[in-house]
Amino acid sequence: MRKSLSMLGLIVGWLLVSGCDNDMKNIEKLSYANAVGVDFKDGKYYGYIQMADFQNVAKTSTGTRGPSKIWIGEGSGDTFEEALFQVYETAQERIIWGHVSALVISESAMKEGIISIYESFSRYHEFRLTPWVYATRGSVKDIFSVTGFFERSPLDTMLHEPEAIHSQSSFVSPIKLHEVIRQINEPGFTLCIPSLAANKTQWSEKEKPELKLKINGAIFLKNDSFKSFIPLEELSGLRWVQSGIVRAGIPVPDPKDPSVQIVIDNPKSKVKTISRGDRPQFDIKVKATGSVVSRTKNDLLDYRQLTDATAKAIEDEIRKVFRTGIDHKTDILNLEYQLFRYHYGLWKSMSPAEDRLLTDDAIHDIRIKLNIVHTSSEKNKKNIGAE
């Protein structure tokens, strides 16, 4: 009996050891996808995978890093899934999808619709719904080829960490996949996705141009339909009404001839629907704090003058971006969604309401409640005394 139990123990132990040996996979034997890209051209989908060498993510035993290495896989197919599956043919090792932190979708792919793309993520258990989502009008390969500074990996770029630079200069708020899924299914909601581009002119190393990523605008979608691409220089007013804005600078009183540069922190906005005849109109209120970071002229020295001029500059930007939305037939300020949420009966009677809301008189009033907490008076004491 004792001999039989010993033999049974040996057999069970052998099965456990051999089972672990077969199922376990060393991490160096796996490939980790960091970003996924989608393009559509010539009637086919193109899928891209970015993988970075993890040896360049953390310090080595010597405390130094080698040059960053990036691998980009490319496949094509009649669907997005087929394009990614084609990459498996040459992947060499199993690809782990749980570390994907960015999804880049080309403008042409967005025009085909993105619901089928994000459904591929939501249905496969390894994919998470937390990657940052970007649009692009350029090459996905160029974007995936960009590395960080100081030979760092691409994981140290705004592709994977947009919040760092957004906290210093906010224009278009970054957005994650689960937010895209929620917003694109909201009736009357216009979804704003930041657009990435590879800039070839602003940075160089040893007089050689070096690619760096930048936000060059935004693509707007509504109910999975493409609305427009609007470049960044036409979207300055969006930052005062979009949620998630952290810090934004504005030249006052005019960008072409500024007297001071004001930095606004954490602006909060509220849109209210009012009844004006047969169509609704909207009041917009913005509340924020600001400070003077530079001064080029000795005017606007009075606090009230400075506050009023800054509020007027912010109001002008909001009106300008709304006018841009009218030109592009895009509800940038999401006035229709405001109507849907708080005046559903009116929204339903007007549906589709967007065209009737994108008129010059849709905005009734804009009020800016601004508190400038620092005027840099100590820095400009000499100039102020001379005035």
Interstrand relation of 204-205 and 208-209 (parallel, antiparallel or unpaired) = antiparallel
Q: Inform me whether the pLDDT recorded for 113 exceeds 50.
A: yes
Residue 270 is inside which H or E element, if any? strand 260-276
pLDDT in tens, 84-111: 889 888 888 888 888 999 999 999 999 9
> Do 124 and 57 meet the contact criterion of CB atoms below 8 Å apart?
no
Q: Where in the chain is the domain with CATH 3.30.300.210?
A: 235-387
pLDDT in tens, 262-289: 999 999 999 999 877 678 999 999 999 9
> Do 292 and 376 meet the contact criterion of CB atoms below 8 Å apart?
yes
> Do 198 and 140 meet the contact criterion of CB atoms below 8 Å apart?
no
Dihedral of CA atoms 236, 242, 248, 250 in degrees, nearest 10, equals 40
The tokens describing 293, both together, are 């970071």
Q: Report the pLDDT value the prediction gives residue 181, as an integer from 0 to 100.
A: 93
Q: Inform me whether the pLDDT recorded for 246 exceeds 70.
A: yes
Mean pLDDT lowest among 124-138, 242-256, 290-304: 290-304
Residues pairing with 31 in the sheet? 95
Q: Inform me whether the pLDDT recorded for 10 exceeds 70.
A: no
Nearest to 286 by CA among 263, 252, 312, 260: 312
Give the angle 313-314-319 at the CA atoms, nearest 5°: 100
Mean pLDDT lowest among 64-73, 282-291, 364-373: 64-73
Mean pLDDT lowest among 12-21, 73-82, 325-334: 12-21
* Strand, coil or helix: 26: coil
Q: 35 to each of 78, 116, 128, 156, 204, how far by Cα in Å?
A: 21, 18, 12, 13, 25
**Superfamily name with CATH number, domain 235-387:** Nutrient germinant receptor protein C, domain 3 (3.30.300.210)
pLDDT class for 182, splitting at 50, 70, 90? very high
Q: Report the pLDDT value the prediction gives residue 7, as an integer from 0 to 100.
A: 54
Burial letters 109-147, b for 16+ CB under 10 A, else e: bbebebeebbebbeeeeebbeebbbbbbeeebebbbebb
> Do 144 and 157 meet the contact criterion of CB atoms below 8 Å apart?
no
pLDDT class for 248, splitting at 50, 70, 90? very high
pLDDT class for 234, splitting at 50, 70, 90? very high
Q: Inform me whether the pLDDT recorded for 382 exceeds 50.
A: no
Q: Report the pLDDT value the prediction gives residue 297, as an integer from 0 to 100.
A: 84
> Do 289 and 298 meet the contact criterion of CB atoms below 8 Å apart?
no
In the predicted model, what is the mean pLDDT of residues 305-310?
Answer: 92
Rg value, the chain, Cα? 26
Q: Inform me whether the pLDDT recorded for 60 exceeds 70.
A: no
Cis peptide before 209 (omega within 30 of 0): no
Q: Inform me whether the pLDDT recorded for 291 exceeds 60.
A: yes
CB-count burial class (<10 Å; 0-12, 13-18, 19+) for 95: middle
Q: 320 to each of 154, 265, 317, 378, how far by Cα in Å?
A: 36, 21, 5, 34
pLDDT class for 298, splitting at 50, 70, 90? confident
Mean confidence (pLDDT) of the chain: 85
Give the residue, 336 or 26, on which the prediction is more confident: 336
pLDDT in tens, 190-211: 999 999 999 888 888 887 888 8
The pTM of this model reads: 0.86
* Strand, coil or helix: 220: strand
> Do 144 and 35 meet the contact criterion of CB atoms below 8 Å apart?
yes
Q: Report the pLDDT value the prediction gives residue 208, as an integer from 0 to 100.
A: 85
